[in-house]
Amino acid sequence: MKGIVKESFARGAALRRDLPDPRPGEGEVVVKVEAAAICGTDLHIYNWSPWAQARVKPPMVFGHEFAGKVVETGPYVRRFKTGDRVAGETHIACGECRQCLTGNAHNCENMKIIGVHTPGAFADYICIPETCGWHLDEALSYEEGACLEPMGVAMHGLEAARVGGKDIVILGAGPIGLMAVGIARAHGARRVIVSEPVQARLDAAGRWGATHTVRPDREDLKAVVMDVTSGAGADAVIDYSGSPRAIQAGFSLIRKGGTVVLVGLPSEPIVIDVSDSVIYKEAWITGVTGRTMYGTWLECQKVLDSGHFNIGQIIAARYPFNEFESAFEDAINGIPGKVILVP
Ligand SMILES: [Zn+2]
Ligand SMILES: [Zn+2]
């Protein structure tokens, strides 16, 4: 089969056409990949960042946001049969640790991630444990199915802030932040203020239903938030940017008793005025990783069924595997939305 391989300990990747077809072991299914989306994690691997160097062992096919069709099932597989349409859940949980046994498999103590620790989805076929398959709704295309995993991250962050009826700030309008804007509106958030320095992404946030859009490099975000909320501050700030400066500023934007949800991963420690921003405000701070298995998937399906959220809008570009370099350039250059690769 063919696949996009991280071959060497340097920037870039290579398209290989001589990879062995995967065979399913016990409890595993082989999925014919119909569409895969490029994630920030894949950009780390492509660019060979320190984050990737500490985790990925070349040569390996990468990519983890995908949808496709089951073509083979291993022994003891119960939930899937050949021909089923599936979307991929990235977490490979151990099923035995304290986290897994208490309903928190998405935060397993022995977690492996598809496309980081095990062969990924930028290939004709991928072999996954059946626990990493989600039945793809008939109303969704494979390309939309490939966007469900990051949609789950957006949803999981919003679930922690219970945004219905509230005035919220979303920091960062990358693909996950953009989907969060749409979900927040579908969930009935009253005002959704989006802060994002890339103009094209900020414009997209407006199309997704942001009530206020702010360029933090040109405007005073805090002044806007205070103005919009009559001086009180936002009910919740949800960070999808991972930017230390954005997160630092974010704590000053919540009202007393407000909530800060941290989703984006900062690359360095952040200094926060805990007295004024947390203690005197009696603030709630929550970290969120991935999406729950499978509560968040069910919540995503509800929003999709509502008709108030069109996941297809997030697809900004699509490329065949043999043009993967252009696809990665689009994603690196901050195209507003998701870049899809099709075998
Ligand atoms: Zn991802
Ligand atoms: Zn576990």
- Ligand with the closest atom to the CA of 114: 1
Query: What is residue 300's predicted lDDT score, i.e. its pLDDT?
Result: 98
Query: Per-block average pLDDT, block size 10, for the chain (343 residues)?
Result: 97 98 98 97 96 95 98 98 98 97 97 97 98 98 98 98 97 98 98 97 98 98 98 98 96 98 94 95 97 97 97 98 98 96 98
Residues classed as catalytic: 41, 44
CATH code (residue 53): 3.90.180.10
> Would you say residue 170 lies in a domain?
yes
Task: Give the distance (Å) from ligand 2 centre to CA of residue 222.
Answer: 41
Pair (161, 282) in one structural domain: yes
| Domain range enclosing 100 | 3-146+310-342
Cross-strand partners of 68: 33, 86
Q: Evaluate whether residue 293 is within a structural domain.
A: no
**CA 339 to ligand 2 center in whole angstroms:** 31
State whether 201 and 326 are in the same domain.
no
281, two tokens: 């405000």
Q: Which residues pair with 221 in a beta bridge?
A: none
**In contact, 93 and 293? CB cutoff 8 Å:** yes
* Statement to judge: residues 142 and 158 lie in one domain: no
Among all bound ligands, the one having the nearest atom to the CA of 291 is 1
Domain membership flag for residue 298? no
Same domain? For 72 and 169 the reply is no
Q: What is the pLDDT of residue 267?
A: 86
Judge if 9 and 105 occupy the same domain: yes
Residue 299 located in a structural domain: no
Q: Which ligand is nearest to the CA of 66?
A: 1
Distance 219 CA to ligand 1 centre (A): 30
Based on the domain organization, do 74 and 134 belong to the same domain? yes
CA distances to 68, 83, 182, 191, 204 from 210, in Å: 32, 39, 8, 8, 9
Give domain status of residue 238, yes or no: yes
Task: Specify the amino acid at residue 271.
Answer: V
Q: Check whether residue 116 and residue 181 sit in a common domain.
A: no
Cβ count near 212 (within 10 Å): 18
Residue 266 Cα, ligand 1 centroid: separation in angstroms? Answer: 16
Ligand 1 centroid to 42 CA: how many Å?
A: 8
Regarding whether 273 and 162 lie in a shared domain, the answer is yes
The answer to the question of residue 292 being in a domain is: no
What's the length of the chain?
343
Same domain (yes/no): 317, 240:
no
Token reading at 64: 């983890």
Q: Distance from the CA of 89 to the center of ligand 2, in angstroms?
A: 15
Domain count, the chain: 2
Ligand 2 center–CA 219 separation, angstroms: 45
Cα(95) to centroid(ligand 2), Å: 5
Q: Based on the fold, state whether residues 108 and 136 are members of the same structural domain.
A: yes
Query: Which ligand minimizes its atom distance to the CA of 147?
Result: 1
Nearest ligand, measured from the Cα of 109: 2
Domain annotation covers residue 301: no
Q: Are residues 112 and 46 in the same domain?
A: yes
* Residue 185 Cα distances to 170, 191, 212, 313, angstroms: 12, 8, 12, 15
120 & 78 share domain? yes
Query: Which CATH number characterizes residue 228's domain?
Result: 3.40.50.720
Is residue 222 included in any domain, yes or no?
A: yes
Residues whose CB falls within 8 Å of the CB of residue 110, separated by 6 or more in sequence, listed in order: 93, 94, 96, 97
Those residues whose beta carbon sits under 5 angstroms from the ion ligand 2 are 93-94, 97, 100, 108
